[in-house]
A and B are shown apart, each in its own frame.
Chain A
Amino acid sequence: MSEPSPRPSSPPSSPSSTPRDRDAIADPWGARCPYAAGETWPARVDVHLADGVREEDVERWVPTASLLHSNGDAMDIAVCDGRVVGVRGRADDRVNRGRLGPKDLYAWQANASADRLTRPLVRDGDRLVETDWNTAMGRVVDRTRTLLREQGPSAIGFYTSGQLFAEEYYSLAAIAHGAIGTNHVDGNTRLCTATAAAALKETFACDGQPGSYGDVDHADVIALFGHNAAETQPVLWMRILDRLAGPTPPRLLCVDPRRTAVARAAVESGGVHLAPLPGTNLALMNGLLHQVIADDRIDHGYVDAHTVGFDELAAGVAEYPPGRVADICGLDAEEIRAAARLLGSAERLLSTVLQGFYQSHQATAAAVQVNNLNLVRGMLGRPGCGILQMNGQPTAENTRECGADGDMAGFRNWNNDAHVAELARHWNLDPLQIPHMAPPTHAMQMFRYVEQGTIRMLWVSATNPAVSMPDLARIRRILGQERLFLVVQDIFPSETARLADVVLPAATWAEKTGCFTNADRTVHLSDKAVDPPGDARADLDILLDFARRMDFRDADGRPFPAWHDAESAFDAWAASTAGRPCDYTGLSHATLRARASGVQWPCNDAHPDGTERLYADGRFWSAPDECESYGRDLVTGAPLEETEYRALNPDAKAVLKAAEFLPPRTAPDDEYPFALVTGRTIHHFHTRTKTGRTPELRDAAPEPWIECSATDARRCGLGDGDLADVRTAQGAVRARVRITETRDGVLFVPFHYGYWDTPAGDRPGDGEPGRAANETVPTDWDPVSKQPLFKIAAAALQRVPDQSGTAAPTAGSEGVR
């Protein structure tokens, strides 16, 4: 099973505010600290230091937060002899109250990995050779100048990350959108958090997380929609577990085709686990709303005062009675009614959403219905009443707000000339310099332009598309083109870096200073603790060096960007957010250092201590002149025009939008009878560039696996631990089978495994099946959020006849979990 469960042999550690170094592989969530509704979550400090290092040996503790998920767990980095030697959770922080998850505790070790990139590399024929910064940056600058002369800004694209700092994204946005003037800027956040942003823009006309982790302390019902929090945000899950262990525990609703730890806890709490067929989330949500409305569990006062569109929503979901929805989703009608009763009886409802919805069919339309659910129940902006449209990555929120992900900086509306002019004033550039004739190009479209040959230089920072994108054979073909100039800025020789023309060695977390903002808007400063290895440089320094070499100038002929380091970049960023929903004007590096326990934006003169919940007063950023988005058609994704939006929502309310369920475009058939779902697991992050270089995490799950139900395994002649191929029209993956309580007809494969630690290095060996789940994933995306769908392939499962190969250490249900 992918969800870890404590080994029976290891006694659970006891709670204490004295720091404890537990075995977080055997005991991923640590000891319980039960607490009741409305109480403060008790502190429990987790620590892990390198072998032989004691806390009294540590010379300095440097504040930061977690890098390998979106939760933002605050911690201090232990430094000894100029090296990172461990981490300790911060007891006073609002996010984690001292707790750390397995990745937090161990993954810092990857920083010191022997194969870090320490020198720039440039292509010489079919190999990459070491060089100096002058040579490498010279090549980048020469090619940029040539392309700008030959074709203009449309020849250049930037594909960035959810793991850099706010200062770096803002600088990238300024350089790309402002100085160069290309519309092609996006992050790998497109793969993880685009639907969260899109769903919030549809409902509230503006991005920005409404809820707070503090809502867990108050909720009486917590509904997790496609959100396997136990693995993706283990510390958030610890908070829920502690409520479940206390008096007045909440009941949980879990929507997930797998019987995860969350699903089991939901049933044990007296709640409900729904396991719909992949691709039917929207039908399910429509059915739940149908029943909640039919039972009249509606806060009519709230709906009348604060929303538009209720009649259309009610009419839309009227066509989804539980019986019909049960047929579509492969559920019992009574299960759907029970879930609706749970939601309808909640007095304080917290809803959370993640990839089970975001990476599946009709992603945005389904996530929007979760917003609708809380709105029609009037459960928003009060303790325990919240919506958390979650993120997957540590700084995904910053990518969005800084405009490095297909948005404009400061949640500005590309379709509103006044917003673009305001941004141009902050940058002291001509507004015409900033492309805004269409939404910024999303990553999937950028790769198509590269395939077509109209984007001729792609600068990839801190991400690994050669493993993380759908249909990897196609992506390798695209990135491997001779005519493409590929710049890769990373800390390891990733699969993508091996295809590059220029590789720029970057510094990482603990080696540079910057801010990050987690999924509930908590801003932490991450200070530099140690020097980067060799010639590696902070991403911010690389970007600003590029700008200086290009000699970008503002309207008055001064160097652009006008800032020169992390602190001045932050100040410029904060100034540009004045009057916007993500207002950082009350923050600076100095104030964040003084208040290391985390501050939630907006933070400004009116809210000097930050803001725990957005929309507490039922007021939204949805006025036509203020909003970030006029919205989109939930089926086609076509943007609404300003006049349509003004007619729809003149008084700045929240918008209730209905959407019609359409059958998934990829459905199992005779040749490919299974629905294939890919996903994240607790021990690894993305393409394992760090977690695969961390001994504890690497050994906990060294090889990929295939999860299926006992019935399906029997039908395919498979036993636990047998080697099997998962095959789709796109490609195949070979791994060992784990029999789990997955829904019949559904397969699960973790997406973390690539090729950097295999002989071939960046692709499957000749004639061999792959190891990366994305070999099998077709290229399809949600038309609204443009997020690719990783949870809806049709696949065949086949036993590999010759089982003479060496058994992978994960083989079998008793393998390392």
Chain B
Amino acid sequence: MSKIALVLRELGRSQTSLLHELQALPDRHPDEHEIVHTAHDLAGWAAADLQRLGETAADTGVALRSWPRPAPLRGAVAARAARSVRHRPETGLLLLADLRRLHRKAAGVALDWTLLAQAAQAMRRAALVELAGACSPHAHQTATWARSQLVVVSPQVIAS
């Protein structure tokens, strides 16, 4: 029996988790402007891809579960906490940890899209092939971006 439903559900879970991670970053690091702005753009992609995934999955008879975004209150508190330490060098370590987690999640999502693409090819499901082709670059770009930010920021955080 095909396990494509399993792959779609796992992708729904990991893509949602990536979206939430991207949405949380600006709250956690409000003074890291490039992180704030680019994460916002990438979250736009992640949300659009999640929606397409849900629609395509539904067309194939698989209903994806939806996970609510962590409560906004937490976001506001996180932002206030972050602003209160904007002048502290130690916040750099938190940023490194968050970027590292983002990279891991985005890389995982990219792999999940690869799994879906492979299965869709094998099962000749054109809609799923097209979906994976359109969405997987975004996960790759997100992972690459997280890595590049780590490369740029880490020397200063660690050396100072």
Residues of A in contact with B (beta carbons under 8 Å apart): 151-152, 154-155, 183, 435, 437-439, 441, 444-445, 448-449, 451-454, 481, 633, 635-639, 662-663, 665, 779-781, 783, 786
Contact = CB atoms under 8 A, between A and B. Distances in A.
A665 B144 contact: no
B91 interface: yes
B156 interface: yes
B151 to A, nearest CB: 5
Interface stretch (B36-44, B53-61, B111-119, B120-128): B36-44
A227 to B, nearest CB: 25
A439 B160 CA distance: 18
B141 A453 contact: no
Contact of A451 (B31, B145, B149): B31
Interface residues of B, number: 30
A295 B125 CA distance: 35
Closest 8 pairs between A and B when the two form their complex, measured CB to CB: A638-B148, A636-B145, A454-B160, A638-B145, A154-B159, A438-B152, A638-B144, A154-B160
B97 to A, nearest CB: 16
A783 B39 CA distance: 11
B38 A636 contact: yes
A231 B158 CA distance: 46
Interface centre among B38, B86, B148, B155 (most CB of A within 10 A): B148
B41 A635 contact: yes
25 contacts: A151-B159, A151-B160, A154-B156, A154-B159, A155-B160, A441-B152, A451-B86, A452-B89, A452-B91, A452-B92, A453-B89, A454-B156, A454-B157, A635-B41, A636-B38, A636-B142, A636-B144, A638-B141, A638-B147, A639-B148, A662-B41, A662-B44, A665-B40, A780-B37, A781-B37
A183 B149 CA distance: 15
B37 A438 contact: no
A781 B34 contact: yes
Interface string B63-107: 000000000000000000000001111011000000000000000
Given A154-B160, A448-B33, A453-B87, A637 B151 contact: no
B32 interface: yes
Contacts of B42: 636
Contacts of B88: 452-453
Given A155-B160, A438-B152, A637-B145, A665 B41 contact: yes
Interface in B16-62: 31-34, 37-38, 40-42, 44
A779 B37 CA distance: 10
A635 B40 CA distance: 12
Main secondary structure on B side of the interface with A: helix
Nearest to B86: A451
Given A155-B160, A781-B34, A635 B141 contact: yes
Interface centre among A452, A663, A779 (most CB of B within 10 A): A452
Contacts of B41: 635-636, 662, 665
A449 B33 contact: no
Contacts of B92: 452, 454
A756 B157 CA distance: 36
Given A639-B148, A783-B37, A783-B38, A449 B156 contact: yes
A154 B40 CA distance: 29
Contact of A665 (B37, B148, B151, B152): B37
Given A633-B144, A638-B148, 12 more contacts: A151-B159, A151-B160, A444-B33, A444-B34, A448-B31, A633-B145, A636-B38, A663-B44, A781-B33, A783-B34, A783-B38, A786-B34
A445 B144 CA distance: 19
B137 to A, nearest CB: 10
A437 B34 contact: no
A633 B141 contact: yes
A386 B2 CA distance: 58
Contacts of B34: 444-445, 637, 781, 783, 786
A157 B37 CA distance: 24
B38 A452 contact: no
Contact of B155 (A154, A453, A633, A781): A154
Contact of A452 (B37, B86, B159): B86
B17 to A, nearest CB: 19
Nearest to B159: A154
A437 B33 contact: no
A646 to B, nearest CB: 17
A438 B160 contact: no
Nearest to B152: A438
A155 B88 CA distance: 14
Contacts of B159: 151-152, 154
A332 B34 CA distance: 34
Contacts of A453: 87-89
Contacts of A441: 152, 156
Contacts of A780: 33, 37
Given A635-B141, A783-B34, A451 B87 contact: yes
Contact of A779 (B33, B86, B142): B33
Given A452-B89, A780-B37, A438 B141 contact: no
A225 to B, nearest CB: 23
A152 B155 CA distance: 12
